[in-house]
Structure 1
């Protein structure tokens, strides 16, 4: 009986949140943007962001059974799209996975992992269940799917030649669960204080947001005393992202499947539409295995891999089997990948290559490595 009452209360609470989201969305549509309304609009957007986070947590956005996948390999890329666009076929052709394929919607009911081995890198590919409109609000277990792909290093926005109109829909659903595609975190620092009010410092002219709007957003998040330092011309939405603090920034690649069903003229039309969308893309056919090597190359390049050649002390570098890392990797990242005790017992490292001023330069754990650097790690001996 208590469980039934809890479920009833839980459901009512979620419905209340969904209704409030709809109400604010309608108010935003009806409110004209001008100098007099910009502060009010910013408050509404901040409220909307908070409500969406609540809705995700109430609808199981933390991930459900079968949706938690342990990351493995050198990086992870996830196919995300509507049902029946061929995500499972692509996964099966690119990896060692066995994702069920069918000519009907919702064949994939859990997230299926596979491993693509390419140019020495092991890339984990995920086939996520198809999402639908409203997925970010919990429809079709959408929040569980979308939350599970938040940890991916690359999002593969997957459509077929007849469903290009799904691309902005997928992007919007991802946006609503805090996934920012092809963006970098805004260069903004917020230091909350006990007193002193809101102090805003900007190193660049702000054309999309002003101090009053910044204060309004912070107050909506119950922050009344803080030092804010802004180093780029940010928008209201970007500032809300910084305050919310739970956004992830992931690169994307558009994958258009089933090109074997189109003639040359229609493919040209598709490419024109994709150029308007403004994202990097690749046209493929999973069934006919067309352009799959190009897709592998694009995935590899988008993930920003670099090769690090390890050189044991007193020996030659191993040029045959480089260590595959991501761009921006540090010596510490390499140590953590090689052995869990390497960081604890680290003394120093020697580097030859583009990241240092002279060959064999001695560096610490925080040193950033470049592609094709040669690295020697010196550890304490027990």
Structure 2
């Protein structure tokens, strides 16, 4: 079957050939994967692109030599995804992380108390999501190391301070700073990541994000919230919370997991009960073949059959290796090693 690759794919491929850094190569490869038609004719090409992306990411995550400069903004990823909190001074980022995780972050009434990234794990049902508290972003402060962390993250929480009359200016500063670094934040519930208009846009890093309207209990918060909704209509849908009163925080783990577009898959060995203790976390759109590769690198080559409970038409149905999985599916793989 012919691959029938799109013009967007070839444009991204050309950008990949010209890319100099691992970051640029990963962005171009991911765009090639996104723009590629998904059918049997591209199975091998999809697998090759995913291997190349994984290899580049592995190289990026390897410890640098002792002679290499220390990067204070390097945070090893954990859980179902890494989500950064971006905000102005005193927006309440640390208070949110403290409420939702056991991270050693200390909310304070004065700005710049957070000097470096502080990760913590937030529970959502049977998975964990990594939240990372970051120093505030201002017109005069946005170090390159922080930009690198933003580019590698799986998602972001843009924290707006509803107690401040400068809330709109603060948000515009943050969005401008990340945009200068070729990062586009978008709310996947409101808009798509968008197809690149030209080869330059291929190198844009698109990060899913939620706009958290914090301090919803403050005086004048409702008026400032209306301004937020008016300014960001069609781009972000503000989620009103209060780290102080905990208003809306119970909805945040589910909203974050949904933003990440992840699915949980439970494995089942032939003739044995389902293992629901620790689901495999995959991306929406991933297939049986992707699950096999996640379990063991040799499984895709030796996969004989797969059976699915949940999204299949009937329980335990035998499916093809390109079958697209759904959240909470149970999968039994039969491999011939």
Flag whether TM exceeds 0.5 (same fold). yes
Equivalent residue, structure 1, for 2:120? 114
1:206-285 aligned at under 5 Å gives the runs: 238-242=197-201, 245-262=202-219, 266-276=220-230, 277-278=232-233, 279-285=236-242
Q: Does 1:170 align with 2:177?
A: no
In the other structure, the counterpart of 2:147 is 146
Residue 369 of structure 1 pairs with residue 325 of structure 2? yes
Q: Out of 99, 108, 115, which is 2:105 matched to? A: 99
Are residues 140 and 267 of structure 1, via their aligned partners in 2, closer, same or farther at CA, if it must alter by over 3 Å? closer
SS at match of 2:168: coil
Aligned in 2, Cα 1:66/1:116: closer, same or farther, shift over 3 Å?
A: same
**Closer, same or farther in 2 for the Cα pair 1:267/1:338, shift >3 Å?**
same
SS at match of 1:109: coil
CA distance in 2, matches of 1:85, 1:268: 16
With over 3 angstroms needed to count, the CA separation of the structure-2 counterparts of 1:296 and 1:361, relative to structure 1, is same
Counterpart for residue 193 of structure 2: 184
CA drift at 1:239: 1.3
CA distance in 1, matches of 2:312, 2:261: 16
Could you tell me how far apart the structure 2 residues matched to 1:175 and 1:295 are?
A: 25
> CA 1:165–1:324 in 2, change beyond 3 Å: closer, same or farther?
same
Is 1:313 aligned with 2:270?
yes
2:253 alignment partner, SS class: helix
> What displacement does 1:322 show?
4.3
TM normalised by structure 1 equals: 0.61
Per-residue deviation, 1:275: 1.9
Structure 2 CA distance, aligned partners of 1:181 and 1:328? 21
Distance 2:249 2:315 in 1: 41
Query: Structure 1 pair 109/347, CA: closer, same or farther in 2 (3 Å)?
Result: farther
What CA RMSD, in Å, does the superposition of the two structures yield over aligned residues? 2.8
Q: Does 1:327 find its partner at 2:284?
A: yes
Which deviates the most, 351-360 or 300-309?
Answer: 351-360
Residue range with higher mean Cα deviation, 341-350 or 280-289: 341-350
**Structure 1 Cα separation of the partners of residues 151 and 87 of structure 2:** 14
Cα distance in 2 between the residues matched to 1:116 and 1:358: 32
| Offset at residue 90 of structure 1 (A) | 1.0
Equivalences for residues 76-91 of structure 1 within 5 A: 76-91=82-97
Unaligned 5+ runs, structure 1: 1-49, 54-62, 134-138, 187-233
1 CA distance for matches of 2:276 and 2:123? 18
CA contact (8 A) 2:142 2:177 kept: no
Shift of 1:316: 4.1
Shift of 1:158: 0.9
Within 1, Cα distance between the matches of 2:133 and 2:206? 20
Name the structure 1 match of 2:35. none
Q: Which runs of 5+ in 2 are unaligned?
A: 1-18, 24-68, 187-191
Q: TM-score, normalised by structure 2?
A: 0.68
Contact 2:82 2:154 in 1 (8 A): yes
Cα distance change on mapping 1:128 and 1:343 into 2, 3 Å? farther
Contact 1:67 1:148 in 2 (8 A): yes
